[in-house]
């Protein structure tokens, strides 16, 4: 039993050292090619949509930690088996380790935009892992007193190596993806003064403008891309008169507009947190498309590609219907954070992010839906996905306990078509819908804060909220799931008053 444990442990330790060595090499070359991460990314891409939605709902923004953790657990279990096999015959154990490492090697090469060097971290993991296993196995046999010291020494050295290499890889990755900032020109068409919201007056309400560091983040990546602003370019190609390629300086030399726009994720559940609002600075999309000259008789889709080959589709007619669609370079007065698409991303008011907001954008191809499928189109999500009229209660919190007496119910609402939010109503315990007071407006593409003073009686209460847009359309009570075109329904929460 003890020797079995020793061999299983040797397999696990060998795999850990291998993974850590691969991680450092990846950190130096391309962090996304780190063996465990590349398997994780492949799992993300292969996961059927319903399961992915379940994981997002179940684990929220921790879904990726859970994913990487699960991959790691799987690897270590198989590595333990490899260790046990090595006890019978070293070759068998080593072979299983090699099979294990072949998975990330193949996955790394199959990813969009993969470079041949992306296989190196897996190769390094293979060599290091097998060498570590050989050392451990050799020092474990014969298992008499003298051998025990040898295996303890080898184990100690390898544990140290795994921890040291892993930490070095993490440090190098975070260093290479440290915050960036570039100087941006002033807007030729600025947004004007930003109205003071209800932030101070209604404690617990969502700030009228989301700070850059609090903005929700949704993308398929496990690591941030490392984009060098000097080498970055944006190409417009496909059904165009002239293919155009712009450097960042070219882009910044064009007249910039500044707009207040709310961004929303299609995966946002009613009452969810995947929504944020910022002041964006960028080049109007139509100015860019005009440079290339687009063939409207052919193209119906802008297929955006990011620096790693991820694709996002946008309906051409919607993006060019006069709304403030742009290629943004700035967010709340500074350049884009890496998390949000540095150096440039698309922003289209009124469309969910998965059909508009391509981060780390490097190419816009004018094409048709019949010809080319973007990442989520391939996974059967809607192609034209306008953001649905919605509202959220920020305060009181669901299932919280508040003191009886005068208090306030408050939150946000967004209606990005038809003139923005015109009205918000709150309902207490299924009674009449009571009109809430609205905060200031920062334009129809921007959310609105609201609040309703409330005298809370002791006991349990159910609060509900609904918004009405400029056309008088009332937020529907009908529930829809995020897939395939966004959630709908009215948020209801329970609060306890004491």
Ligand X SMILES: Nc1nc2c(c(=O)[nH]1)N[C@H]1C(S)=C(S)[C@@H](COP(=O)(O)O)O[C@H]1N2
Nearer to Mo ion, 354 or 454 (CB): 354
Q: Closest approach of Cβ 371 to ligand X, in Å?
A: 21
* Among the residue ranges 70-78, 113-121, 210-218, 466-474, the one whose residues contact ligand X (CB under 6 A): 210-218
* Among the residue ranges 60-68, 140-148, 167-175, 354-362, the one whose residues contact Mo ion (CB under 5 A): 354-362
Q: Does 353 bind Mo ion (CB under 5 A)?
A: yes
Nearer to Mo ion, 218 or 474 (CB): 218
Contacted by 344, from ligand X, Mo ion, none: CB < 5 to 8 Å by type:
none
How many residues of this chain interact with ligand X, rule: CB under 6 A? 19
Binding to ligand X by CB under 6 A, coded x per residue (else -) over 160-199, reads ----------------------------------------
Nearer to Mo ion, 10 or 377 (CB): 377
Q: Does 374 bind Mo ion (CB under 5 A)?
A: no
Q: Closest approach of Cβ 317 to Mo ion, in Å?
A: 21
Q: What is d(CA 122, CA 103) in angstroms, rounded to the nearest whole number?
A: 9
Q: Does 310 bind ligand X (CB under 6 A)?
A: yes
Q: Does 265 bind Mo ion (CB under 5 A)?
A: yes
Contacted by 215, from ligand X, Mo ion, none: CB < 5 to 8 Å by type:
ligand X
Q: Closest approach of Cβ 357 to Mo ion, in Å?
A: 8
Q: Footprint of ligand X on residues 217-246 (CB under 6 A)?
A: 217-220
Q: Does 340 bind ligand X (CB under 6 A)?
A: yes
Binding to Mo ion by CB under 5 A, coded x per residue (else -) over 278-317, reads ----------------------------------------
Q: Does 263 bind ligand X (CB under 6 A)?
A: yes
Q: Footprint of ligand X on residues 345-404 (CB under 6 A)?
A: 353-354, 357-360
Q: Closest approach of Cβ 297 to ligand X, in Å?
A: 29
What are the residues binding ligand X (CB under 6 A)?
A: 215-220, 263, 265, 276, 306, 310, 312, 340, 353-354, 357-360
């Amino acid at each position: 039993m003890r020797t079995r444990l020793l061999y299983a442990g040797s397999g696990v330790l060998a795999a850990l050292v291998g993974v850590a060595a691969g991680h450092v090499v990846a950190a130096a070359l391309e962090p996304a090619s780190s063996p465990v991460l590349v398997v994780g990314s492949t799992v993300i891409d292969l996961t059927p949509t319903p399961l992915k939605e379940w994981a997002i709902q179940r684990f929220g923004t921790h879904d990726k930690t859970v994913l990487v953790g699960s991959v790691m657990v799987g690897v270590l279990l198989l590595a333990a088996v490899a260790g046990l096999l090595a006890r019978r015959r070293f070759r068998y154990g080593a072979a299983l380790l090699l099979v294990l490492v072949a998975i990330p090697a193949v996955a790394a090469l199959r990813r969009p935009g993969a470079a041949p060097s992306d296989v190196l971290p897996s190769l390094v993991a293979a060599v290091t892992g097998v060498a570590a296993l050989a050392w451990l196995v050799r020092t474990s046999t014969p298992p008499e007193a003298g051998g025990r010291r040898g295996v303890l020494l080898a184990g100690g050295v390898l544990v140290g190596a795994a921890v040291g290499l892993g930490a070095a890889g993490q440090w190098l990755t975070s260093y290479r993806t440290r915050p960036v900032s570039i100087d941006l020109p002033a807007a030729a068409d600025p947004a004007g003064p930003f109205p003071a919201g209800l932030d101070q007056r209604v404690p617990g309400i969502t700030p009228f403008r989301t700070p850059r560091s609090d903005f929700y983040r949704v993308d398929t990546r496990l690591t941030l891309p490392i984009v060098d602003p000097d080498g970055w370019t944006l190409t417009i190609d496909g059904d165009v008169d002239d293919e155009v390629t712009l450097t960042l300086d070219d882009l910044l030399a064009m007249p910039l507009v500044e707009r207040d726009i709310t961004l929303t994720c299609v995966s946002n559940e009613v009452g969810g947190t995947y929504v944020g609002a910022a002041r964006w600075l960028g080049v109007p999309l139509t100015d860019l498309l005009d440079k290339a000259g687009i063939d409207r008789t052919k193209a119906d889709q802008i297929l955006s590609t990011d620096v790693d080959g991820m694709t996002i589709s946008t309906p051409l007619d919607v993006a060019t219907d006069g709304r403030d669609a742009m290629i943004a370079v700035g967010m709340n007065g500074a350049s884009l954070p890496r998390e949000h698409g540095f150096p440039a991303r698309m922003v289209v008011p009124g469309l969910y992010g998965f059909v508009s907001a391509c981060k780390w954008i490097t190419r816009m191809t004018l094409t048709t839906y019949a010809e080319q499928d973007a990442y989520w189109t391939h996974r059967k999500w809607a192609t034209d996905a306008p953001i649905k009229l919605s509202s959220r209660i920020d305060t009181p919190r669901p299932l919280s306990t508040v003191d009886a007496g005068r208090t306030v119910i408050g939150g946000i609402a967004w209606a990005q078509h038809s003139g923005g939010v015109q009205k918000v109503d709150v309902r207490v315990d299924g009674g009449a819908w009571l009109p809430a007071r609205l905060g200031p407006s920062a334009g129809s593409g921007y959310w609105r804060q609201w609040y309703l003073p409330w005298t809370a009686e002791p006991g349990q209460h159910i609060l509900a909220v609904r918004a009405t847009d400029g056309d008088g359309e009332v937020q529907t009570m009908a529930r829809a799931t995020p897939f395939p075109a966004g959630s709908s329904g009215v948020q209801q929460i329970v609060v306890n008053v004491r």
